[in-house]
A and B are shown apart, each in its own frame.
Chain A
Amino acid sequence: EAGVAQSPRYKIIEKRQSVAFWCNPISGHATLYWYQQILGQGPKLLIQFQNNGVVDDSQLPKDRFSAERLKGVDSTLKIQPAKLEDSAVYLCASKAEGASTEAFFGQGTRLTVV
C-alpha cells in the first residue's frame, strides 16, 4: 500500500514568514497526527485528527500554528509567523482504527527558520 506522503521535504524561511506543510495519509486511515521533532528529541505531538475533527491540540501553539483536515483526508499544517525555535522536522502519521494498530509515518518536512 502507498505510504504517508508529505511535502515539501525541505523548507528554509526567514523568521516572521509563513509556511505550510501538506500531508496525504494512507487511504482509509481515520486518525492523522502531526508531530514536531526538534533535533535530538523524540517526536512531540502537535495535533491529532479523527476524520476531520480535532481530538487533541493541547500542545499546538495556537497563536502561530494552525492545522486543518478538510474532508477528513489530506491535512495541512501552517505556521504564521515562524520563529527560529520552530526549526524542526514536522512528521505526519496516520493510523487505522484501534489502539493496538501502529502509526505509519511520512518522511517528514525539515523546516529551517533563519
Chain B
Amino acid sequence: AQSVTQPDIHITVSEGASLELRCNYSYGATPYLFWYVQSPGQGLQLLLKYFSGDTLVQGIKGFEAEFKRSQSSFNLRKPSVHWSDAAEYFCAVHNFNKFYFGSGTKLNVKP
C-alpha cells in the first residue's frame, strides 16, 4: 500500500533562513509526487509537482523540491523563508487516480 510520511509535525524557522521539509513515500513504481500548501482557513494550493525527468523541480513562491529515488524522498526547500510562508505543507503521492497525503508539516516563521 502506498504511504506518505512527513516526519516533522511542526517546524519553526527565522525569517530569511533556509527551509527543508521532509517527505518520504512508500511506493513500488516511479511515483508522481506533489507538494501542496494550506494557509489558515484556506484550501490546498499546488506548490509543485514531479512526474518525470529532472529530479529537481521548481515551484511557485520560490520553492523547489528534489526527488531522490534511492532515499524514497521528495523534500521541499526554500533558500530564504518569508513570514508569508507560514502555513501547513502537505506532500502527496498519486497512484491510479488517487492521491495519498502525508499528515502535514506546520511551518512557523519567527521575525
Answer yes or no: do A and B interact: no
Q: Report which A residues bind B (CB closer than 8 A).
A: none
